[in-house]
Amino acid sequence: MNINETLAREFGIKLWQVENTVALIDDANTIPFIARYRKEATGSLDDQLLRDLADRLSYLRSLEEQKEKFKASIEEQGLLTEELAAAIDAAKTLTEAEDLYRPFRPKRKTRASVAKAKGLEPLAMKIYEQAQDFDPFAEAEQFVTDEVENVQAAIDGAKDIIAEMISDDPDGRKQLRYVCKAHGNITSAAAQEELGVYETYKEYSEPVSRIANHRILAINRGEKEGCLKVVLDVEKAHGVSVLTGLHIKNNSKSAALVREATEDAYSRLVFPSIEREIRNELTDRASADSIKVFAKNTAQLLMQPPVKGRVTIGLDPGYRTGCKVAVVDENGKVLDTGVIYCAPPHKRIDEAKRIIKGFVKKYDVKMFAIGNGTASHETEEFAAEVIRELDCGITYMVVSEAGASVYSASKLAAEEFPQFDVSLRSAVSIARRLQDPLAELVKIDPKAIGVGQYQHDMPPKELSAALDGVVEDCVNSVGVDLNTASPSLLLRVSGISSAVAKNITAYREENGSFKSRSELKKVPKLGPKAFEQCAGFLRISGGKNVLDNTAVHPESYAAAQGLLKLCGVSDADVASGNISALNEGVKKAGIPALAKQLEVGEPTLADIVSELNKPGRDPRDELPQPLLRSDIMGMEDLKAGMELKGTVRNVIDFGAFVDIGVHQDGLVHISQITNRFIKHPSEVLKVGDIITVWVLSVDVPKKRISLTMKKPKE
């Protein structure tokens, strides 16, 4: 298999794009760096396609390695033929290669191996030939020994050998696999009386070819928890006929024995194996889809616009231990902390109001961030009442606490806030999540952020890899302030290791702010390769070189300066935004001509022009701002038909959960998102979207709210 040609065909791109991308990956370049700074080499492939290509490259290389191992093992047995080697080389999947290797795989003790040890293989082969004039029972008499007590024992042993031969036949497995996928059903039944959330699946059946991914995961979890019994249901006669069609030659006495062996092979060996394969394949497919949804939601959550320039009070609600309070300034620095009791059982409202109002006046607080955990509703009611009494333009937002407790108890949080207890650290994190979601959420294991479905059932390695890639792409697309970024944020920058991230902050503390990107070369352990990978993603505001506050890579500074000179634009003009002459010059000369003159690629020059237009820009600022509130509403206030504004909190296979400000997210089912057919809610919605919804129904006892995005008819 030519891996590069295979990748080009599968991804629908040119061979040269694949060859260049593979070379860059093999040269230890990161995906963000390749996507942003090697566009000429890749043909401007985006980061997601590059990640998919890198994953597929890894799979295909692993497949080729496995094929070589299979051939080497068969060769050691002296059984490798040219035809078999060619068939293994041509296998497109690991399953195909394993089917071919199965007859030669060293086996643990089986019924067939026991029969072979007793010398019954010659009898089995004669029976399998199914000659019309052959009497298998007469022949079996010759195989009666001390180990084989009678004719029937010899026949049974021979059938065990034949059954294993049939099980190992790749053609039979391939055809049966097709039948099971085309005609099989995944069927579940109750395994206990109390099923809870799995009640839907107590008598459930759906074709393998059509079952939805989220139902696969739900059924799997129900089985894992002992609530459900799950099987692949295929008509046995149909399955057996596939194998008999391949192995039964006539109506001889031997053929009757081969038929018995075939039925045994199907029930005992082949079908159970195929069932496991198909269920694993369905689980892998569902997991991969769920990971994609989780990754997309995580990216959208991380890229939520920051609410800049506002002193914020973070409120971590609680009942018995009170509500922890943290005041942070515009840059996330902690100004003050405290504890109030605004919810049962203590409920010291007057004292709590006095403390909060004092913080507001002392620090000119503009915003409250309220955690959505225990006692959140009571805390929100309290905050809304304080805002009404102060009447000074303060707004609030209920913020997801997902992962906050994980961060608060982490070693990282202890290093950042050694003077605070765990709960106060949570209050700080909640405030900062509203101010700059990306900078705060990178401190938390992405799996703990909670914007997916069945994430705890996902393969940990694959999930972590996907989410780490998402975080890396988000951080690098936004860029990082070299002089303020925490080690957690720096660690997510292309090419920066944990040790280098700590060394950068240590250098900063010892030498003061970085004045230029080139100063990074003085940081211990940050070598030329690391500098190449990270420099373009790190920003320096107010430094010596205006280009240091853009995504222009240092390797392109000469081209950027040359462009500015050609257009008569100074660094001061760029810093002040006075670059009309630059845009006019580029428009007049054209990107192709300028790129040729400056000896730089056209995509790179286009990026340079874009960056010079917006030095220090944050792409998140162009997105709709978060929906802030100043008053509260409860579920009991909702009525069918009511129109509301809401924020999409999670997008899953069957719909989206929307925060409408009542402390209980409502569900917009996929059928209620749009009037046109969509395969997945993510075609229309993404996490963080501000949308208009209408209430369909409210079930207060069950805490269920059904919403629609389809405007009701007047």
In 90-184, the DSSP E strands lie at none
Task: Tell me if 448 sits within 8 A of 409, measured CB to CB.
Answer: no
574-620 pLDDT, tens digit each: 988 888 999 999 999 999 999 999 999 999 999 999 999 988 888 88
DSSP state letters, 227-250? SEEEEEE--HHHHHHHHHHHH--S
3 state SS of 655: strand
- 135 has pLDDT over 90: yes
DSSP 553-613: -GGGHHHHHHHHHHHT--HHHHHHT--HHHHHHHHHH-HHHHHHHHT--HHHHHHHHHHHH
DSSP codes of every residue in 489-527: HHHTSTT--HHHHHHHHHHHHHH-S---GGGGGGSTT--
What does the pLDDT read at residue 556? 97
CA 475/CA 179 separation, integer angstroms: 47
d(CA 617, CA 479): 9
Which residues make Cβ contacts (< 8 Å) with residue 180, sequence separation at least 6?
208, 232, 234, 239, 271, 274, 275, 278
Are 546 and 557 in contact, with CB atoms under 8 Å apart?
Answer: no
Collapsing DSSP states into helix, strand and coil, what is residue 183? helix
User: Is residue 186 within a helix (H) or strand (E), and if so which, with residue range?
Assistant: strand 185-190
pLDDT higher than 80, residue 386:
yes
- pLDDT at position 452 is 67
Helix (H) or strand (E) holding 539: strand 538-539
CB 373 within 8 A of CB 317: yes
Is residue 290 pLDDT above 80, yes or no? yes
| Neighbouring C-beta atoms of residue 689, cutoff 10 Å | 18
Mean pLDDT computed over every residue of the chain: 93
Does the pLDDT value for residue 274 go beyond 70? yes
Q: How far apart (Å, rounded) are the C-alpha atoms in residues 617 and 622?
A: 10
* Amino acid sitting at position 708: T
* Strand 323-328, strand 312-316: pairing: antiparallel
**519 pLDDT higher than 80:** yes
Nearest to 270 by CA among 156, 182, 180: 180
pTM: 0.82
Return the half-sphere exposure (C-beta side, CA atoms, 13 A cut-off) of residue 338: 17
User: What pLDDT, on the 0 to 100 scale, is given for residue 634?
Assistant: 79
- Is 548 in contact with 517 (CB distance < 8 Å)? yes
What's at 567, amino acid-wise? C
Using a 10 angstrom Cβ sphere, with 0-12 exposed, 13-18 middle and 19 or more buried, the burial of residue 464 is middle
pLDDT for the residue 412 = 85
How confident is residue 366, by pLDDT bands cut at 50, 70 and 90? very high
d(CA 385, CA 278): 57
Does residue 407 have a pLDDT over 70? yes
Contact 623, 305 (CB under 8 A): yes
Return left, alpha or beta for 382; rule: phi > 0 is left, psi -120 to 50 is alpha, else beta.
Answer: alpha
When pLDDT is averaged across residues 619-641 and rounded to a whole number, the result is: 83
Mean pLDDT for the stretch of residues 519-525: 96
What lies within 8 Å, CB to CB, of 94 at 6+ separation is 63, 66
Q: pLDDT band for 501, please (50, 70, 90 cuts).
A: very high
Contact 343, 382 (CB under 8 A): yes
491 contact partners, CB below 8 Å, separation of at least 6: 442, 497, 498, 501
Give the C-alpha separation, 360 to 366, whole Å: 8
| CB-based contacts of 629, cutoff 8 Å, min separation 6 | 384, 395, 396, 397, 661
pLDDT for 432-462, tens place per residue? Answer: 999 999 999 888 888 887 676 666 788 888 8
For residues 325, 399, 460, 682, the Cα torsion angle rounded to the nearest 10 degrees is -170
Residues in the chain, total? 714
Per-residue pLDDT at 714: 64
Interatomic CA distance for residues 190 and 197, integer angstroms: 12
Q: What is the pLDDT of residue 621?
A: 82
Q: What is the DSSP annotation of 280-346?
A: HHHHHHHHHHHHHHHHHHHHHHHTSPP--S--EEEEE--STT-EEEEEE-TTS-EEEEEEE--STTT
Walk across the sheet containing 185-190 and list its strands.
Answer: 203-207, 185-190, 228-233
In angstroms, rounded to a whole number, what is the distance separating the alpha carbons of residues 707 and 667? 6
Model confidence pLDDT, tens digit, residues 36-88: 999 999 999 999 999 999 999 999 999 999 999 999 999 999 999 999 999 99
Are the C-beta atoms of 624 and 690 separated by less than 8 Å?
A: yes
Here the tokens at position 171 are 């053609």
Type of residue found at 645: K
Q: What's residue 667's pLDDT?
A: 96
CA distances from residue 514 to 338, 504, 524, 529 in whole angstroms, order as listed: 35, 10, 14, 20
Mean of pLDDT values over 514-537: 96
Instruction: Check if the beta carbon of residue 598 is closer than 8 Å to that of residue 562.
Output: yes
pLDDT in tens, 638-696: 989 999 999 999 999 999 999 998 878 999 999 999 999 999 999 999 998 999 999 99
Q: pLDDT value at position 712? A: 85
Expressed in percent and rounded to 5, the helix, strand and coil fractions of the chain are 55, 10, 30
pLDDT score of 579: 87
Phi-psi region for residue 454, left (φ > 0), alpha (ψ -120 to 50) or beta?
left
To the nearest 10°, report the CA torsion of 493, 498, 504, 507. Answer: 180
| Tens-digit pLDDT profile for residues 313-330 | 999 999 999 999 999 999
